[in-house]
Structure 1
Amino acid sequence: MFRHVVLLLLLSLSFGKIFGQKVDSTSLDSTKRYIQIIYAKKAKYGKGKDSAAQKLIGEVKLKHNEVILTCDSAYFYQRTNSIKAFSNVRLNQADTLFLTGNRINYSGETKIAEVIGNVKLEDPTTYLECKHLYFYREQNKGSYYTGGRLFSKGSPDTLSSTQATYYSEDKIAIFRKNVVLKNPEYVMETDTMKYSTEIKQSYFYGPTTITSDSNTIYCNAGWYNTETNKSSFYNRAIISSPEQKLEGDSLYYDRNTGLGKAFGNIVITDTINNFMVTGERAFSYNEGDSSIIPSRPLLYHFMGKDTLLVSSDTVYTKQVNDSNKQVFAFHNVLFHKSDVQGKCDTIIFDERFQRLDMIDSPILWSDKNQITGDKISLFVKEEVIDRLFIPKNAFIGEQVDGEIFNQIKGKNLTAFFKDGDIYKVEIRGNGESIYHALEEGVDSLGKAINILAGVNQAICSDMDIRMQDSEITEINFITSPKSTLHPPTKILDEKLVLKNFTWHGEVRPESKKVVKARGNRVIKFNDPIVSPQIPLIIPQEKAQEETEENKKGEQ
């Protein structure tokens, strides 16, 4: 003990002239404070390149402003007011920030500490680890350029990158190059990220991928709060799972509730059930179990080499079991497929039964035939239409020529398809028909034409109709038929039609272009399409200074 007291007295005498001398204000800033030696077991002058330094050995303790630095040994350079500290180095800044490492080079003039080897930085919200760190006391920030990791206290998040700058006062970290955020529920990878250790929120800039067990998210900019699991993604974002993919100009996602919102040029793709929906906004619930597209939707159902294209005011999808969905298109429905076209208020496609129901004033066209009823159900088999069923007020019409139509009606109707065409129709209950008989003939120029021979008007409870190339070739009256054959003159004069028959050819969507045109109409809605820009803000930092540090890191 006596020896330590003597040593401290000698150090005080040795350094007394330096610390007690008057400072020339022309050469040094009089507001700067010098590094103070608090304690060391031994002290001696260095050798060689360190001959101008005092070598301090054993339980070394130094102070500069509110910083306390301890280590096993150090070189103290009085002239430059700097230190080289070695082994078990620990820097304590006002008991709020702690910095440890194998070595520290510290300048009292610039207040910059270079920490080398097993570097650890800790403050109330953060742990940081790396091999080499520059700590700038004036800005209260630390930067590494050769790889490191950051841990946010109270959070399972771990962030790693090639380069980073951590602003302790603002609780903000800026990561660059090979940035990875690991959370027990997902992994986020990007090139540039800003992370708040206080609110546990990350902001990413450039291509970003977030991978979890349930889905993968891709975007070019956005933010993610790892504490609330709420996020927003911009510049064309995609959320994909094995069953579904949702993409849009901007997306909002709440991982806790499974709620997703998409705005601007949205596309929802069901990879299992061969559906795709496009529109201007969409809402997805329960991690994609159900979705609603309330504006400008176009629904694509891929059926083998053909596609059923549907436009409506709203599309809604609902998961009914692990592999099947129900798809609803509401209001002002118009659709086109190569072999059938339709118009109604609502359609429902149930994948469990491979059935498409047309509801509320449905009209279906198949080649030359128009089919109507209270409800029309289409049954799909091996991705092609196999049959259709109308339970009530069934009506089928075939345009013969101009205003002349073959007509069949009944209580219910079943039609069977082959190679995209109707080949058989069964009418059951209250059957009625008007059939125009044609004969081959020639006109005045000798050209072959069909000549109307007469019209057969029949009433029969049940009928079977055979068709070929979408034309009626045979009608079989099954139960107590009553029929009348009218001459051509009567038909031309009265144009016989069954009650409630109307031809709707003018509203038939003749091509997919017609359906797309309706789907692309402008619809106004209250919710704005939000695509905010997120500036990469570096707290209390000049761009020039940050650029210089980046250059240092590249060297």
Structure 2
Amino acid sequence: MNSSLKSFCLIAFFFLPIFMIRAQENNALEILRADSLKGAMGFERLLGSVRMKNQSTLIECDSAHFFRADNKAKLYGRVFIRSEEDSVTTRSAYAEYDGNTKLAKLRTNVVFTNMETTVYTDYLDYDRAGNIAYYFNDGRVVDSANVLTSEKGRYEVNRERITFTDDVVLVNPDYTMKTNFLVYLTIPKTAETKGLTNLISKDGNTLDASKGSFYDTQAKNFRFFDGLVETETSRVKADELLYRENEAYYEGKGDVRVLNKEREVEIFGDQGQYWEDRGYSLVHGKALVRRYFETDTLYMTADTLISQDHESDSLKYLLAFSSIQLVKSQMSGIADSLSYNYSDSTIRLFQDPAIWDNRSQITADSMTFFIENEQLRKLFVKNNAFAVMTDTLVNFNQMKGRSMTGLFENGDLNTLDITGNGESLYYALEGDTLVQGVNKTLSATIKMTFVEGQLKKVNYGVKPEGKFIPVQDIGEEGGKLEGFVWRKEEKPTMEKIFAWRSVNEVDLEAENLFEVPEAEIRMPSDEEMQKSLEKWDTNTNKGGLIPLKKVKDFSNE
């Protein structure tokens, strides 16, 4: 080793302790003032108006134990810690401060403040180096808009981010939220949760999410995952549900459902939008409607559904487009499009509709039927009307005309009036077991009467033209009117409805954090424990228990 290198190493070795001392001094706790100071040898007691400093951190308290060698202090009475570099301040009744790690452990009546955000707790550790505060054993955070409480919390001051865990409650003037994991950003005042989340508004509306949520507390915008919103008049649910409260607007994706409680109509689909103030909803993608009656339910499928239902609107309706299927009790139907008038329960089917009851099929260019007291009561069929009824031998009795009006009773066709170029073909039976032939009749008007779905009487208008064809002369085409098509394979069934969209019913008994009792388990006092032990000793008559006072006496010996 040459002489210059040796000299450099000696100089470096000589100055190294000085650098280390200065580095320690930079982190060292300094005493700025105290009314009195007692002690030595690395332990000092500071009494009265104590002020200390650790770099940019200023510390005040009533008294302190200063462990100079460890660069630590225990602080007692009206502890106040603040920084010269930011707005964070802390207050507590007791604290421990480590000058090396810049970790403050604050206990009892802790108040941690950063601008408009304040944390209240009895147990808080504050990492000054990372500018992160941790509280445990319950804490409360207050800012200008919200109050949040939880068992545990982590406040990242530089990111203005607070993570709350275990029994989290957010309260603002409009809502109360409960969850077990919540991340709150103090500047935009947004709350993001994971897992089960429940809210109740000041109006009593509930907003629930089983897979977490996002809540802009100032803009009043919500996004729920597996979310459910329920008001006095409606219930909206979706896999992903957006709710803009100020606009009373909902938007859902995945298994969307909108229930109108007043109309007892529930709409399902893959995607949907709902404007609550307007009573207007749009649902599409494998859409399904359930119209609830007291003893029955009407099911309807469609590709797209539009519903308008508001008190201020004179016309309240439901529109459905493409792939229409209807099923209600013994009635079912299909169409390309449909309208349903809420006020008078009138359903109109368009573009090659067909409906079926127990034994009949009716087709036309369009048709209207009326539901009264939960039953199909009246049917009006317009243009190219064609009705087919089966008899006991499964023959097809047929009627056609420009228009038809049918009256129903208990789900069965009771009377059918045909007007305009009426034609009929029905089978003459002997004893309901033997076909004699068919009667074909032309008449401007035809009125047919049925009993339990079976044709019993036919009345024709002026100058009908008819003929009877014996059974042996019917042939292949003799038993059909022009335009006859039996479309039973198209008839909707509940199996087809469920194949279109299977519905997972809302679990109204699902877990809700507002229903969890807020019970607190209190530890018994020493006196209560002693009484309990003495009582147990007396009851068992063993005499082997040592009173707590004697245990304490032994420990002093």
TM-score of the alignment, normalized to the shorter chain, above 0.5? yes
Change (3 A) 1:83 1:493: closer
- Whether the 8 Å CA contact 1:368–1:399 is kept in 2: the answer is yes
By how many angstroms is 1:69 displaced?
Answer: 1.5
- Whether the 8 Å CA contact 1:32–1:109 is kept in 2: the answer is no
- Whether the 8 Å CA contact 1:303–1:384 is kept in 2: the answer is no
Q: Corresponding residue for 1:315?
A: 305
Q: Corresponding residue for 2:332?
A: 341
Aligned partners of 1:470 and 1:481: how far apart in 2? Answer: 27
136-145 or 210-219, which moves further after superposition?
A: 210-219
Unaligned runs of 5+ in 2: 1-15, 503-557
Q: Are residues 1:170 and 2:163 paired?
A: no
Aligned partners of 1:405 and 1:434: how far apart in 2? Answer: 11
By how many angstroms is 1:501 displaced?
Answer: 4.6
The 5 A counterparts of 1:267-416 are: 267-286=257-276, 289-321=279-311, 326-399=317-390, 405-416=396-407
Aligned partners of 2:476 and 2:68: how far apart in 1? Answer: 121
- Whether the 8 Å CA contact 2:437–2:468 is kept in 1: the answer is no
Change (3 A) 1:493 1:190: closer
Q: Are residues 1:468 and 2:451 paired?
A: yes
Coordinate RMSD, CA, aligned: 3.1
Q: Are residues 1:451 and 2:449 paired?
A: no
* One-letter amino acid of the counterpart of residue 79, structure 1: A
Q: Are residues 1:149 and 2:118 paired?
A: no
By how many angstroms is 1:333 displaced?
Answer: 0.9
SS at match of 2:420: coil
By how many angstroms is 1:491 displaced?
Answer: 4.0
By how many angstroms is 1:170 displaced?
Answer: 1.2
Q: Corresponding residue for 1:420?
A: 411
Aligned partners of 1:406 and 1:84: how far apart in 2? Answer: 101
258-267 or 340-349, which moves further after superposition?
A: 258-267
Q: Are residues 1:110 and 2:101 paired?
A: yes
Structure 1 residue corresponding to 2:87, chosen from 87, 96, 106: 96
Aligned partners of 1:175 and 1:61: how far apart in 2? Answer: 33
By how many angstroms is 1:459 displaced?
Answer: 0.6
* One-letter amino acid of the counterpart of residue 273, structure 1: R
Deviations 1:473-513 (A, max 9, x none): 11223x4242322332554365265555544334222x221
Q: Are residues 1:257 and 2:209 paired?
A: no
SS at match of 1:169: helix
Q: Are residues 1:52 and 2:34 paired?
A: no
Aligned partners of 1:26 and 1:502: how far apart in 2? Answer: 102
Change (3 A) 1:81 1:373: same
Q: Corresponding residue for 1:128?
A: 119
Q: Are residues 1:35 and 2:29 paired?
A: yes
* One-letter amino acid of the counterpart of residue 153, structure 2: A
Aligned partners of 1:454 and 1:500: how far apart in 2? Answer: 17
Q: Corresponding residue for 2:148?
A: 159
Aligned partners of 1:320 and 1:498: how far apart in 2? Answer: 46
SS at match of 2:194: strand
By how many angstroms is 1:38 displaced?
Answer: 1.9
- Whether the 8 Å CA contact 2:325–2:333 is kept in 1: the answer is yes
* One-letter amino acid of the counterpart of residue 261, structure 1: E
By how many angstroms is 1:75 displaced?
Answer: 3.3
* One-letter amino acid of the counterpart of residue 433, structure 2: I
* One-letter amino acid of the counterpart of residue 136, structure 2: Y
Greater RCO structure (CA 8 Å; 6+ sep): 1
315-324 or 128-137, which moves further after superposition?
A: 315-324
Q: Are residues 1:516 and 2:513 paired?
A: no
Change (3 A) 1:33 1:131: same
Aligned partners of 1:500 and 1:224: how far apart in 2? Answer: 60
Unaligned runs of 5+ in 1: 1-21, 442-447, 521-555
Q: Percent identity?
A: 22
SS at match of 2:246: coil
By how many angstroms is 1:102 displaced?
Answer: 2.6
- Whether the 8 Å CA contact 2:448–2:459 is kept in 1: the answer is yes
Aligned partners of 2:138 and 2:276: how far apart in 1? Answer: 38
* One-letter amino acid of the counterpart of residue 147, structure 1: D
By how many angstroms is 1:322 displaced?
Answer: 8.5
Deviations 1:413-440 (A, max 9, x none): 322222111112233x425131324132
SS at match of 2:499: helix
- Whether the 8 Å CA contact 1:23–1:30 is kept in 2: the answer is no
Change (3 A) 1:55 1:216: same
TM-score w.r.t. structure 1 length?
Answer: 0.78
Q: Corresponding residue for 1:215?
A: 205
Aligned partners of 1:165 and 1:426: how far apart in 2? Answer: 78
By how many angstroms is 1:27 displaced?
Answer: 10
Change (3 A) 1:494 1:266: closer
- Whether the 8 Å CA contact 2:332–2:355 is kept in 1: the answer is yes
Deviations 1:330-376 (A, max 9, x none): 11212223311111111222222122221222211122212123332
Change (3 A) 1:384 1:439: closer
Aligned partners of 1:493 and 1:350: how far apart in 2? Answer: 43
* One-letter amino acid of the counterpart of residue 308, structure 1: L
Q: Corresponding residue for 1:206?
A: 195
- Whether the 8 Å CA contact 2:26–2:55 is kept in 1: the answer is no
Aligned partners of 1:77 and 1:438: how far apart in 2? Answer: 116
SS at match of 2:27: coil
Aligned partners of 1:300 and 1:98: how far apart in 2? Answer: 59
Deviations 1:11-57 (A, max 9, x none): xxxxxxxxxxx9799999737521112233x113169xx99322231
Aligned partners of 1:513 and 1:67: how far apart in 2? Answer: 73
Change (3 A) 1:403 1:386: closer
By how many angstroms is 1:290 displaced?
Answer: 2.5
Deviations 1:359-410 (A, max 9, x none): 2222111222121233322222222222222355533222459996433334
Q: Corresponding residue for 1:524?
A: none
How many residues align? The count is: 482
* One-letter amino acid of the counterpart of residue 412, structure 2: D
Change (3 A) 1:288 1:516: farther
Structure 2 residue corresponding to 1:505, chosen from 466, 488, 497: 488
- Whether the 8 Å CA contact 1:393–1:409 is kept in 2: the answer is yes
Structure 2 residue corresponding to 1:194, chosen from 166, 183, 196: 183
TM-score w.r.t. structure 2 length?
Answer: 0.78
Aligned partners of 1:193 and 1:325: how far apart in 2? Answer: 42
